[in-house]
């Protein structure tokens, strides 16, 4: 009887492990999908910054234009 119970317990554990494994795989796939999306957004934002240099300052230092310090003359 105990052997039978042990086999049942092992089978339950195996099923639980497989369920958890599948959950983790699903989560992994979802995270990959979001990562691709974030990569595209970041790439587009970088392209936008390169096309508009004033925007770069605002993104690096999130302040308004009227709060920007006066820049020293370039040498």
Q: What is the 3-state secondary structure (H, E, C) of 46-68?
A: HHHHHHCHHHHHHHHCCCCHHHC
Work out the pLDDT band at 34, boundaries 50, 70, 90.
Answer: very high
Domain membership flag for residue 74: no
Domain membership flag for residue 38: yes
Work out the pLDDT band at 73, boundaries 50, 70, 90.
Answer: low
pLDDT tens digits, residue range 42-56?
Answer: 888 877 777 876 655
The predicted structure's pLDDT at residue 23 = 96
How far are the Cα atoms of 10, 62, 63, 72 from residue 16, in angstroms, in the given order? 10, 48, 52, 66
The predicted structure's pLDDT at residue 42 = 83
Domain membership flag for residue 12: yes
Domain membership flag for residue 33: yes
Domain membership flag for residue 72: no
Burial class (CB in 10 A: 0-12, 13-18, 19+), 69: exposed
Domains in the chain, number: 1
Domain that holds residue 59: 2-67
Q: Residue 45: which residues within 8 A CB-CB, separation 6 or more?
A: 59
């Amino acid at each position: 009887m105990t052997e039978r119970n042990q086999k049942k317990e092992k089978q339950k554990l195996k099923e639980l492990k497989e369920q958890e494994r599948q959950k983790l795989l699903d989560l992994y796939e979802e995270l990959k999908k979001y990562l691709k999306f974030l990569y595209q957004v970041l790439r587009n934002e970088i392209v936008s910054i390169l096309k508009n240099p004033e925007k770069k300052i605002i993104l690096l230092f999130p302040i308004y234009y009227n709060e920007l310090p006066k820049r020293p003359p370039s040498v």
